[in-house]
Amino acid sequence: MLDVKVIREKTEWVCARLAARNAGDEVNIQEIIALDDARRKNLSEVEVLRANRNKVSKEIGVLMGKKQFDEANLRKQETTEIGQKISDLDKKLQEIESQREAMLLKTPNTPHDTVPYGKTSEDNPVVKTYGEKKIFSFKPLNHVELCEKLNLIDFQRATKISGRGFILYTNLGARLERGLINFLLDTHTREHGYTEIQPPLMVTQECMYGVGQFPKFRDQAYTIQEGLDAETLGKQYLLPTAEAALVNLHRDEILKEEELPKRYCAYTPCFRAEAGAAGLGTRGLIRVHQFDKVELVKIVEPEKGYEELEKLLLNAEKILQLLGLHYRVISLCTGDLGFTSAKTYDIEVWAPGQDQYLEVSSCSNCEDYQARRMGLRFKKADGTLCFPHLLNGSGTALARLYVALLETYQQPDGSILIPEVLRPYVGTDQIKI
RNA sequence: GGAAGGGUGGCUGAGUGGACUAAGGCGCCUGACUCGAAAUCAGGAGAUGUCGCAAGGCAUCCGGGAGUUCGAAUCUCCCCUCUUCCGCCA
């Protein structure tokens, strides 16, 4: 969440940045400031009363020691009155604080000054491209046709056993998916210096708040416990992304400066309810409820946040380069930025069978927005505490990568050529009927 | 799932209603001694919030929450978590 101090001191800048990202009507900076003013006023009143009570209580202790019980009893009445005032004011204060907290949790991050201004995804500029669209001597098939022909995915049975939006890889199709996962993990851990993590697939509500999924995207999350009320603490949610687990690894901790940067990498399935996306029903792998993803997360000193974002992007790009796929990188404009992000690059890979670019990675610097939500700090050499920048990026999403791979490497005879780097992982150089 | 016992500062560990302003030890920082270090001696040191130009003051913090009390690390209740034992289990 945003720092209230910054909101108070740079109010105009914050409002302008939030307006640029089309923050909704639910965000009201003036109201946050008003609540904060009310909080301060009430707080100092309560504190004066408390100081008073502490003082008198101490005096009572002394009187009791001297066995001056009458005098002590007199003073007790005094503190009882003060106590009543305190609990009344305290109640009011708690109400104000929870409103203030709720407003802050609903307020998205402020875009970095280098983020291009724009309203929608139409306004996202392309910042670089790699390779070019492959020319085919025949009409390339799309991945659904290829998967069915080559028996890589069984769409009918996936729907039968799990419903719409699930994938059932079979035979070489399954091995290709597993091979890709291993290739991605190996590349990031061995070549790029990330520490491999295998997190639980379910996390607590606190983690969902910390990462910024809640409260805004609560309806996107799957939970599998029934019969408990929604506010029950300890209730668990299926990961919408491994980011939700990785970013929370050090929640409520104070890291040492020399421990930074931390780089984590994890493969997990990702579960998304995609509420409200019904009807977007693209057949195949483009939009599903469960997909595999390898996620990268970094915890870094604030001064290095943006330098590390560029490196993170390069780490993700490297995957597509090694696989010989054509892609472009776009910089999300202010209006298209994710809730927690201050700056985001998307990587879009070319899928010839779809005749379109598919988003396979999103690399963001959330600055200290998430760290603040989850109470993650580090201690600087001079002893002061500081919120680190949290970065996350897909390295990459698997399902769409799979699409691009099949569609790019299809041959005139309907077979698929496996790129060199993947052959040890798949155990074959081509997939044919 | 059942039973019992724990959770105190960076770590260890004492504290069972009023000097806890959380002892002592270890580690840490500063200074003295030293050419320098070790050892020794002296001193210092938390977080959050808030008020203040500042010096500094005040409040809160002993796993979390609620309660009893004039006053809670300490008493009561609920929850989380760890350890051990039992049951179940890939």
| pLDDT tens figures, A234-284 | 478 899 999 999 999 998 888 888 888 999 999 999 999 876 665 545 678
Q: What is the pLDDT of residue A234?
A: 47
Residue A232, pLDDT above cutoff 70: no
Predicted model pTM: 0.91
Residues A331-340 have a mean pLDDT of 95
Contact A275, A135 (CB under 8 A): no
| Closest nucleotide to A39: CA versus each C1' | B50
Task: Look at strands A254-256 and A377-379 and give their pairing.
Answer: parallel
| Closest nucleotide to A78: CA versus each C1' | B70
Angle at A363 between CA A199 and CA A218, to 5 degrees: 60
d(CA A44, CA A28): 25
For the complex shown, is ipTM > 0.85? no
Q: What is the pLDDT of residue A206?
A: 87
Q: What's at A276, amino acid-wise?
A: G
pLDDT level of residue A230 (50, 70, 90 thresholds): very low
| Nucleotides of strand B under 7 angstroms from a protein beta carbon | 18, 47-51, 57-60, 70-71, 79-81
Q: Which of residues 71-100 of A touch strand B (CB under 7 A)?
A: 76, 79-80, 83
Q: How far is the CA of A59 from the C1' of B44 (A)?
A: 31
Contact A53, A83 (CB under 8 A): yes
Task: Look at strands A290-300 and A327-331 and give their pairing.
Answer: unpaired
Q: How far is the CA of A195 from the C1' of B28 (A)?
A: 30
Q: How far is the CA of A153 from the C1' of B19 (A)?
A: 76
Judge if the beta carbon of A224 is closer than 7 A to nucleic acid strand B: no
Contact A364, A391 (CB under 8 A): yes
Q: What's at A69, amino acid-wise?
A: F
Judge if the beta carbon of A43 is closer than 7 A to nucleic acid strand B: yes
User: Among this protein's residues, is A362 annotated catalytic?
Assistant: yes
| Closest nucleotide to A80: CA versus each C1' | B70
Q: What is the pLDDT of residue A433?
A: 82
Residue A228, pLDDT above cutoff 60: no
